[in-house]
């Protein structure tokens, strides 16, 4: 009788232990999954904000009015290239090179946006999407303005005649070169601010 009682007690104890272990494992797994999800959300939010700041800096650099001689040092030159034309082509070449970080970081932000759609809240994902749209549109405007502006300037350099539509040329110039608090810079600042509020909850 005593042996049976001990055996029964032992079985009960083992059963209770198994239940306790299962409960602890269940809640432990939930906590682990929650921590992993929280960490993933944090990383996505952090990457979005970091890329937003990088893109703002990329636009500032691309539109900085001053270029350096080393920026066009590796541009292929034509034989007996006229000095005026060479000056225009040098800056055009430098400006195009300054666009490369923008292209790379826009692509990275697009990839992170896909992650944001999966992991973050609808509001946060929408905020990233709206910021991305502004950045893309601004890049398209800047890239187009650089091409059109320097193409017109090259025509002026080769013909020695002013470009036909000087008002249009001045509009392009305002996009190519930054000025304090200009409309283009404000648009970039708006895109960057668009990302921050909805994402701060994940990076506190």
The residue with greater pLDDT, 202 or 8, is 202
Supply the pLDDT for residue 4.
55
Whether the per-residue pLDDT at 10 is higher than 60: the answer is no
Tell me what pLDDT residue 36 has: 41
Calculate ∠ Cα 72-77-79, nearest 5°: 155
Measured at the CA of 122, the angle between CA 116 and CA 127, to 5 degrees, comes to 70
- Helices 100-119 and 83-98 cross at an angle (nearest 10°) of 20
Residue 122 pLDDT: 82
Token output for 160: 């020695």
The answer to whether 154 touches 88, Cβ cutoff 8 Å, is yes
Q: What angle do CA 179, 182, 188 make, to 5 degrees?
A: 110
Overall pTM surpassing 0.85 (yes/no): no
Helices 2-62 and 122-159: angle between axes, nearest 10 degrees:
20
User: What does the pLDDT read at residue 102?
Assistant: 96
Q: Tens of pLDDT along 15-55? A: 545 444 444 444 444 443 444 456 777 788 888 888 999 99
């Amino acid at each position: 009788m005593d042996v049976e009682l001990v055996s029964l007690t032992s079985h009960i104890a083992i059963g209770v232990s198994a239940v306790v272990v299962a409960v602890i494992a269940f809640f432990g797994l939930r906590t682990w999954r929650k921590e992993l999800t929280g960490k993933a959300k944090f990383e996505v939010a952090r990457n979005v904000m970091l890329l937003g700041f990088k893109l703002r800096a990329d636009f500032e650099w691309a539109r900085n009015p001053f270029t350096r001689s080393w920026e066009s040092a590796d541009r292929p030159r034509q034989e007996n290239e006229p000095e005026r034309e060479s000056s225009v082509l040098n800056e055009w070449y430098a400006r195009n090179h300054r666009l490369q970080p923008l292209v790379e970081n826009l692509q990275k932000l697009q990839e992170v946006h896909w992650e944001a759609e999966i992991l973050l809240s609808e509001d946060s994902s929408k905020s990233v999407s709206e910021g991305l749209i502004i950045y893309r549109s601004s890049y398209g405007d800047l890239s187009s303005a650089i091409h059109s502006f320097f193409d017109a300037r090259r025509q002026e350099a080769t013909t020695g005649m002013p470009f036909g539509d000087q008002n249009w040329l001045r509009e392009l110039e305002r996009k190519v070169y930054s000025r304090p608090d200009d409309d283009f810079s404000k648009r970039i600042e708006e895109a960057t601010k668009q990302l921050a509020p909805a994402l701060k909850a994940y990076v506190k």
